[in-house]
Amino acid sequence: MLDALRQARVIENDYVKRWKADGGVVVGYSCSFAPPEIFEAAGVLPFRIRALGNSRTELADSRLSRFNCSFCRACLQLGLEGAYDFLDGLVETNGCDQLRGMFENWQYAHPVAFFHYLKGPHIETPEALEYYTGELRACALTTAAHFGRELSEPALWDAIHRQERIRVLQRQLNGMRAKENPALTGAEMLGLILLGSAMLATEYERLLTQVIAESETRTVPGFKARLVLGGSATDETEFVELIEDVGGLVVADALCFGARAFLPELDRAEADPWRALADLYLRRSLCPRMFDGFARRLEFIERLVTETRAHGVILVHNKFCDIHGIDNTLLRKKLREVGTPVLTLEKEYGGLADFGRLRTRVQAFLEHIGGRA
C-alpha cells in the first residue's frame, strides 16, 4: 500500500510513464461526468486531472482571475507549466463554469492536439438522460476515431464490468474504514481512490485486491471522533491528514474525488451500454451541480452518518466554489435539524498557510462534539 500511496502523490506516476513508454495514449478529463469506461473501451488511458495540493497559480492567474476557484487555477497552472504535457488530449466537461473556463484557457494558451467537449445536463429528466447518452457516444467515437482505435460494444461492456468490479472493491475497502476499528485512514482511502483515476484499470483492480488483503488485520489507533467529510473538489490528502492529525478519523466521505464516484451502483438490468453509463453517471450523480438533486444528496449524507456511526460531518468548499458553498449551507441546516453536528469550512485550495486556521476550527469542532475521547 505504501508504494501505491506514494504514486498517488505525483501527477505523472510510474504507471502512466510505463503506459506512455509502451506507446499508450492518455487523455485528460476533469470531473465525474466523463466516464472512464468510454476511453478504456477505445484503448485510451483516461487520466483525471488533479492538482494534488499545488498552491502555485502565478501563470494561471494571468488567464483566470483571483475570483476563480483555486483548484481550477492550480490545475491550469500545472497545465501551463507543462506538468501535463504527457496528455495526448483533453476532454472538457461542464462540471462547473470555472472548470469550463479552465479548459478554454488551457486550450487557448497551451493547446493539445485532441480536444473534445463532453456536455452533461444539470437535470436528471428522461430528456436530459437521452441527451447525455448521445453525448457519451459522440465523445467515445470521436476519441476512438482521432487516435485510430476501434470501439466495439463488447469492449465497452468489458470496460463497464471492469469498472463495476473496481467499484465493488472500492466499496469493500470503504467498508473497512467504517468498521468499529477502522483498517485505514481517510487520507489513505483518498490516496487509493485518487490513484484509480490515474492508472490502467486492469492494474488498479489487482492493486485494490492486494491492498484489501493487506488491510484485513490493520487497525487505525488513537482517534477521537468518527467523521464524514463532504464538499468540493478535494484531492488534497494533506487536508484529510490535517483533520486526522488532531483526532478526527474520516470514516466516510461525500467527495467528488472519493465515495461519490464509487458508491452509486450500475443498473445491471440495462441492456444498452450507453444508457447504463448515462444512468450511472448522470441520474445517480451526487454532485451539487445537479440543480434538481438536493434531496438525494441530503439523504446520501444522512445515510453515511447512520451507517458509519459518525459523530459529525465536515463540509468543505474551496473559496469561490458556488455550487458547493451554497449546497453546504442548506446541508448544514438540514443535518443540524436532525441533530447531526456539522462544521462548514471555506478554504483556499492547496493553501498550506491556511492550515493553521483550519486545524483550530477542526480541533474546536472535535471538542464540541466530544466523540469517544
- Residues of this chain that bind other proteins (CB under 8 A): 62-65, 67-69, 72, 94, 96-98, 100-102, 104-105, 108, 117, 119, 121-123, 125, 127-128, 131, 134, 288-289, 291-292, 294, 317, 319-320, 322-323, 325-327, 329-330, 332-333, 344, 346
Contact 225, 370 (CB under 8 A): yes
Residue placing its CB nearer to other proteins in the complex, 245 or 322 = 322
Residue placing its CB nearer to other proteins in the complex, 224 or 260 = 260
For the CB of residue 42, give the shortest distance to other proteins in the complex, in Å. 21
Residue placing its CB nearer to other proteins in the complex, 35 or 288 = 288
Residue placing its CB nearer to other proteins in the complex, 58 or 307 = 58
Residue placing its CB nearer to other proteins in the complex, 13 or 98 = 98
Helix axes 70-81, 97-109, angle to 10 degrees: 20
For the CB of residue 192, give the shortest distance to other proteins in the complex, in Å. 30
Residue placing its CB nearer to other proteins in the complex, 86 or 294 = 294
Residue placing its CB nearer to other proteins in the complex, 292 or 299 = 292
Block residue for cell numbers 490535517 = 242
For the CB of residue 117, give the shortest distance to other proteins in the complex, in Å. 6
Report strand pairing: 342-347 vs 312-318: parallel
For the CB of residue 126, give the shortest distance to other proteins in the complex, in Å. 10
Alpha carbon distance, N-terminus to C-terminus of the chain: 29
For the CB of residue 170, give the shortest distance to other proteins in the complex, in Å. 28
For the CB of residue 189, give the shortest distance to other proteins in the complex, in Å. 27
Residue placing its CB nearer to other proteins in the complex, 17 or 333 = 333
For the CB of residue 75, give the shortest distance to other proteins in the complex, in Å. 12
Quote the CA–CA distance of 71 and 177 in Å, as a whole number. 27
For the CB of residue 165, give the shortest distance to other proteins in the complex, in Å. 33
Quote the CA–CA distance of 100 and 92 in Å, as a whole number. 7
